[in-house]
Amino acid sequence: EGQLLESGGGWVQPGGSLRLSCEASGFSFSSYVMHWVRQAPGKGLEWVSSIVEGGTVTYYEDSVEGRCTSSRDNSRNTVYLQMNSLRVEDTAIYYCAKGSGRGDFDIWGQGTMLIVSS
């Protein structure tokens, strides 16, 4: 059974930067698209970014486009989300999720909390 473990969350002031990490185990990491999904406190789920298997193509939600960069290191089974120019509205739990190959997410991490506040 595959597992995902996020890290890197914390408290950041508006305008600051942070890098989230997600380490995978139990499946062939390099064979799957990986995703980031966030959930603001008390709110629903919001897709943030996707990165294809080789890392050559990335996709972003409009509100993070230009401020966030997804990358992956297949030798370390790890995907990253670099977040810059952080805003208060970026405050959320950030989940890493494995793409199933069918357009959905079949394995989720436990999430890492990012708080953007002055």
Partner 1 sequence: ILLTQSPATLSLSPGEGATLSCRASQSVATYLAWYQQKPGQAPRLLISNASNRATGIPARFSGSGSGTDFTLTISNLEPEDFAVYFCQHGSQWPITFGQGTRLEIK
Contacting residue, 5, 45, 52, 113, with partner 1 by CB under 8 A: 45
Question: Tokens representing 42?
Answer: 């008390």
CB of 76 to partner 1, least distance (A): 22
- Is residue 116 within 8 A of residue 36, CB to CB? The reply is no
Contacts of 57 (CB under 8 A, 6+ apart): 51
**52 in contact with partner 1 (CB under 8 A):** no
In the block, tokens 């972003």 appear at 60
Site residues for partner 1, 25-44, by CB under 8 A, read: 35, 37, 44
- Is residue 48 within 8 A of residue 64, CB to CB? The reply is yes
**61 in contact with partner 1 (CB under 8 A):** yes
CB of 37 to partner 1, least distance (A): 8
Site residues for partner 1, 88-107, by CB under 8 A, read: 95, 100, 102-106
* Cα–Cα distance, 22 to 112 (Å, whole number): 9
Which stretches of the chain bind partner 1, using CB under 8 A? 35, 37, 44-47, 50, 59, 61-62, 95, 100, 102-106, 108-111
